[in-house]
Amino acid sequence: MREKIRQMEITCLCKIDKGKKRIAESVKAFVQDTSGIGVVELILILVVLIALVVIFKSQLTALVNSIFEKITSESSGI
Does residue 41 carry a pLDDT above 90? no
pTM beyond 0.85: the answer is no
Q: How far apart are CA 38 and CA 52, in angstroms?
A: 22
Q: Which residues of 11-49 are buried (b: 16+ CB within 10 A; e: fewer)?
A: eeeeeeeeeeeeeeeeeeeeeeeeeeeeeeeeeeeeeee
pLDDT at residue 12 above 70? no
Q: Domain locations in the chain?
A: 1-34, 37-78
Cα distance between residue 18 and residue 54, in whole Å: 54
Whole-angstrom Cα distance, residue 22 to residue 36? 23
pLDDT at residue 49 in the model:
95
